[in-house]
Amino acid sequence: MCIAIPGKVISLENNKAKVDFSGNTVTVNTGLVDPRPGQYVLVHAGCAIEVMEKEKAEELLEIFADLEDFR
CA distances (Å), 51 to each of 5, 26, 34, 71, in order?
11, 16, 8, 35
Nearer to another protein, 5 or 37 (CB): 5
Residue 3 dihedral angles phi and psi, to the nearest 5°:
-80, 120
The most distant pair of C-alpha atoms in the chain lies apart, rounded to whole Å, by 52
CB of 12 vs another protein, minimal distance in Å: 16
Footprint of another protein (CB under 8 A): 1-5, 21-26, 29, 31-33, 42-47, 49-50, 52-54, 56, 59-60, 63-65, 67-71
CB of 35 to another protein, least distance (A): 12
The β-bridge relationship of strands 40-44 and 16-21 is unpaired
Minimum CB distance to another protein smaller for 13 or for 68: 68
